[in-house]
Structure 1
C-alpha cells in the first residue's frame, strides 16, 4: 500500500484576528509569546492538576518549568472553550504511543510545539501535528543531514538561497507529520518526502494513513512552523492565529 503526502507553503497573516474567515478550515491555531505571559504564571498554575504541578516541578531549569505551565494551562483553557466544558473537567492523558488526548472527547485532536520564546497550539476535528522551530543559523546541521533527509531533500537545501530556512522548513514538516500520525521520530524519517509538491511513499512509513497535507508558514523572521493534517482543507491558504483566552 502507498500513501500520498502533499506539501506547500502558505502565508501567515497579521490582520485583525477578529476578522472572519470565509468557510471553516477545521483547524484552529494559536500563537503563544512566552515572555509576555511570565507574569501570569501564578494565575495559570491554578489550572494545573496535582500531577501536572509535580511534572512542572521536575524541570531543572525555571524557563522550562514556566514554559510547561504556560502551555499546559492555555491548552486546557482552549480545550475547555472548544468543548464547552469547565476547565476542571479537562483531563489530558497519553495513549500507548505517548500522544496526548482528551478522554472525554476522543474526537477532538490537538497538538503543541514550542521553541525558545514561542509556542503554538493547534486544535482540530481530525488528527493534527504542528512543529515550531527557531531558525538557528549557528547550528551545524550538515552532520545530521543523511540521517534525516533523502538525497533530493539534501539537494534542495544545497541549492537554496537560504540553506538554514530550507533545512528548518523540511525539518518542521517531518516533525509535524510524525506528530500527526503519533509515530514518533525513528530511523525511517529520511524516507518521508516533504519537498513542495506531491509524494507517494509506502503507507507503513506513516502508520497506514492514506493522505497527509502539510503546510509551512513563517511565524516571524526567526521562527518557522509546519502543520500536518490527515484530511484535505481546500480553503486553507493562510495561517491566521486566533486570540488566546483572557
Structure 2
C-alpha cells in the first residue's frame, strides 16, 4: 500500500506510546504526519492480509543498540507476518505478507547526479541520473529492511533469485520499491 499521508485513514490512538513519543520528536509537522501515517498504513496493510480490524494490531520495534521504537517492525499479535513501512515527506508506503518483506519510498532529488550516494551503494557505470540512482537505492533499502543487507554491506551485489520486486512511481518525484518472498501486488486503501 502507498498513499499521501492525508489519505491514510485511522487514528493516532492506534499507535503505541513509543510510536507517539517518536512522532512528537519530529521538528517539521509534515514529517510527523508522514511518520504517523506510515505507522497507520502498515496496520491497514497487515489487517488486509489477516482479515482483522487494523486498530487491534500493535506494532512493535526493538533494536539492541537504540532500544524500543527502532529496528525491524513486527506485530505483537502476529509476529510471524512480515511487515515493513517507509515514509518520506509527502508519501508513505507499507507492506505485509508471509516471510520477509521490505519497502522503501524516496524522493528523487532534482539537480546534479548524487555522486556521493552512487559511490556509497556502488552504482554501476550505466546509472548516470538521479532517477535510476534512487531506484537502485530504494531496492537496496528494501533489502536492508528485510535484514538481508546493512549499511555496511549495501555495496554488495544482489541476487534477486527467490525474491519478488514490486516498484511504482508517484509523480512527480517519488519512487517506491517493495521486496517480498511471494508475488505481491498493490492494494488500494
- Shorter-chain TM-score category? 0.7 to 0.9
When residues 118 and 84 of structure 1 are mapped into structure 2, their CA distance, relative to the original with a 3 A threshold, is same
When residues 179 and 192 of structure 1 are mapped into structure 2, their CA distance, relative to the original with a 3 A threshold, is farther
- Report the CA distance between 1:84 and its aligned residue: 4.0
* Higher RCO (C-alpha 8 Å, min separation 6): 1
Q: What secondary structure, in the 3-state scheme, does the structure 2 residue paired with 1:179 have? A: helix
Aligned residue among 144, 148, 158 for 2:117: 144
- Report the CA distance between 1:55 and its aligned residue: 2.4
Q: Please name the residue that 1:243 is paired with.
A: 188
**Cα distance in 1 between the residues matched to 2:167 and 2:144:** 15
When residues 189 and 89 of structure 1 are mapped into structure 2, their CA distance, relative to the original with a 3 A threshold, is same
**Cα distance in 2 between the residues matched to 1:121 and 1:227:** 8
TM-score (norm 1): 0.63
Aligned residue among 165, 168, 172 for 1:214: 165
RMSD across aligned positions (CA): 2.7
- Report the CA distance between 1:175 and its aligned residue: 0.8
Larger of the two Rg values belongs to structure: 1
**Cα distance in 2 between the residues matched to 1:96 and 1:49:** 16
- Report the CA distance between 1:183 and its aligned residue: 4.7
Structure 1 residue 131 corresponds to structure 2 residue 96 = no
Structure 1 residue 104 corresponds to structure 2 residue 84 = no
Q: Give the paired residue count.
A: 183
Q: What secondary structure, in the 3-state scheme, does the structure 1 residue paired with 2:77 have? A: coil
**Gaps in structure 1 of 5+ consecutive residues:** 1-29, 194-198, 201-209
**Gaps in structure 2 of 5+ consecutive residues:** 65-70
- Report the CA distance between 1:81 and its aligned residue: 4.5
TM-score (norm 2): 0.80
8 Å Cα contact 2:108/2:130 also seen in 1: yes
Q: What secondary structure, in the 3-state scheme, does the structure 2 residue paired with 1:64 have? A: helix
